């Protein structure tokens, strides 16, 4: 695929400004992974979780990740977070500070094995409202080679960043994926009513255009913010690759939507034969380049890729703080791995300066020495016991 320079489209400026934090203040778990019942009360600032591998530190981060749309940081199926031998389905609830207000979010496995979401006790029809209330982003060891592996993981990562700037994006992606599956099913069965295919392709063109534009806006903004940064982390140059991404840079939205419909209709026979849909944002990719080394991210070492990824997340945190008046909540699993002390200290310092709440895990308490007096330290023992 051809790399496409991101087109800068200004975002509307948020009215709220100031030192407002987005933070988890209380976390309650029930039958979640290794936790039968757990309540944590924490301050609005950084939280460091220290303990041996397998104690349950990452499980706490995963629980928080379910306060955002999607399947959580482990992409778990709805049954997977259930505690082995537990008494019931898993549930997570939290009291949060978001944009100057306090609210309570609850979620878990409900009847019919569907994920339920409640905000201040009121059931929600879907998960989109979560994106409207707060932004959460995470880094895990599994992401250290994000730029060298499959494009689907990079699309998911990018979409999570888009949620922070466009709370409707999660709904657009869900609607697009539903239409994508339905069109593929009809093509595989053969003999589909052309009117049904036209309706699905109309939906794919409409939602796909919105998705492509939102991704392009976000990539352009983050590229600009990352290049303006000063510090020990590398500078990533960001772009998008793919056919609809190329067209997005060349034509206005209405023309792109019409062109997408034409391409989908023309590709029906080929898509039916291949069992895939060859055109659309589900085929796009996020491309990163290390500016100082003039090297594509895919060819960097694991440590270099992680440094580039951290640089991108920092750019996102700065931009979101400017946009929404508060940075995202960050979940940093084993963040010290592959980060030298200088970069680790800079990461902590910048996040603290932004007023970000971040939850960081590690087996070695010394890794959090730069946070002495600035973070709430929790020790997680084998079996999931948590103490200050």
Domain range summary for the chain, segments of one domain joined by +? 3-387
Looking at residue 112, its pLDDT comes to 87
Looking at residue 191, its pLDDT comes to 85
Give the C-alpha separation, 47 to 376, whole Å.
Answer: 5
| Confidence tier at 300 by pLDDT (50, 70, 90) | very high
Percentage of the residues of the chain whose pLDDT score is greater than 90: 84
How do residues 166-199 score in pLDDT, each as one tens digit? 999 999 999 999 999 999 999 999 988 999 999 9
Instruction: Decide if pLDDT at 11 tops 80.
Output: no
Q: Directed axis angle between helix 302-324 and helix 194-227, to 10°?
A: 100
Q: Where are the alpha helices (DSSP H) in the chain?
A: 57-65, 128-133, 151-165, 169-189, 194-227, 243-248, 253-266, 268-274, 302-324, 341-354
Instruction: Decide if pLDDT at 256 tops 60.
Output: yes
How do residues 127-174 score in pLDDT, each as one tens digit? 888 988 889 999 999 999 999 999 999 999 999 999 999 999 999 999
Selected residue with higher pLDDT from 37 and 11? 37
Instruction: Decide if pLDDT at 13 tops 70.
Output: no
Instruction: Decide if pLDDT at 253 tops 80.
Output: yes
Looking at residue 309, its pLDDT comes to 96
**Is 3-387 in CATH node 3.30.930.10?**
no
How do residues 67-108 score in pLDDT, each as one tens digit? 999 999 999 999 999 999 998 899 999 999 987 789 999 999
Contacts of 371 (CB under 8 A, 6+ apart): 46, 48, 348, 352
Instruction: Decide if pLDDT at 363 tops 90.
Output: yes
- End-to-end CA distance of the chain, in Å? 50
For residue 250, which phi and psi values (nearest 5 degrees)? -110, -20
Secondary element (H or E) of residue 240? strand 236-241
Looking at residue 21, its pLDDT comes to 75
Give the C-alpha separation, 140 to 158, whole Å.
Answer: 15
Looking at residue 91, its pLDDT comes to 98
Looking at residue 5, its pLDDT comes to 37
Contacts of 110 (CB under 8 A, 6+ apart): 89, 116
How do residues 339-360 score in pLDDT, each as one tens digit? 999 999 999 999 999 999 999 9
């Amino acid at each position: 695929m051809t790399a496409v320079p991101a087109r800068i489209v200004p975002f509307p400026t948020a009215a709220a400004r100031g030192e407002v934090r987005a933070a988890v203040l209380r976390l309650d778990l029930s039958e979640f992974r290794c936790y039968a019942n757990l309540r944590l009360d924490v301050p609005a600032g950084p939280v460091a979780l220290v303990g041996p591998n397998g104690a349950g530190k990452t499980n706490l981060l995963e629980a928080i990740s379910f306060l955002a749309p999607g399947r959580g940081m482990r992409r778990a199926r709805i049954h997977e977070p259930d505690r082995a031998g537990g008494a019931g389905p898993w549930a997570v609830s939290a009291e949060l500070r978001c944009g100057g207000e306090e609210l309570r979010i609850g979620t878990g496995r409900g009847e019919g094995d569907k994920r339920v979401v409640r905000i201040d006790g009121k059931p929600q029809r879907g998960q989109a409202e979560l994106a409207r209330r707060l932004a959460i982003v995470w880094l895990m060891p599994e992401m250290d080679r994000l730029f060298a592996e499959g494009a689907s993981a990079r699309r998911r990562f990018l979409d999570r960043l888009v949620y922070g700037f466009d709370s409707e994006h999660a709904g657009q992606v869900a609607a697009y994926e539903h239409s994508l599956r339905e069109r593929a099913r009809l093509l595989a069965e053969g003999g589909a009513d052309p009117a049904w295919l036209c309706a699905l392709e109309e939906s794919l063109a409409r939602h796909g255009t919105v998705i492509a534009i939102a991704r392009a806006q976000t990539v352009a903004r983050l590229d600009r913010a990352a290049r303006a940064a000063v510090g020990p982390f590398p500078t990533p140059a960001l772009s998008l690759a793919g056919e609809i991404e190329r067209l997005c840079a060349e034509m206005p939205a209405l023309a792109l939507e019409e062109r997408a419909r034409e391409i989908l209709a023309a590709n029906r026979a080929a898509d039916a034969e291949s069992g895939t849909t060859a055109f659309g944002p589900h085929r796009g990719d996020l491309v990163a380049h290390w500016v100082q080394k003039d090297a594509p991210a895919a060819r960097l070492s694991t440590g270099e890729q992680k440094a580039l990824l951290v640089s991108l997340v920092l750019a996102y945190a700065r931009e979101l703080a400017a946009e929404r008046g508060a940075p995202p909540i960050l979940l940093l699993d084993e963040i010290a791995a592959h980060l030298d002390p200088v970069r680790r200290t800079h990461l902590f310092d910048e996040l603290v300066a932004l007023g970000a709440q971040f939850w960081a895990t590690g087996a070695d308490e010394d890794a959090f020495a730069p946070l002495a007096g600035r973070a709430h330290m929790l020790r997680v023992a084998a079996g999931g016991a948590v103490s200050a």
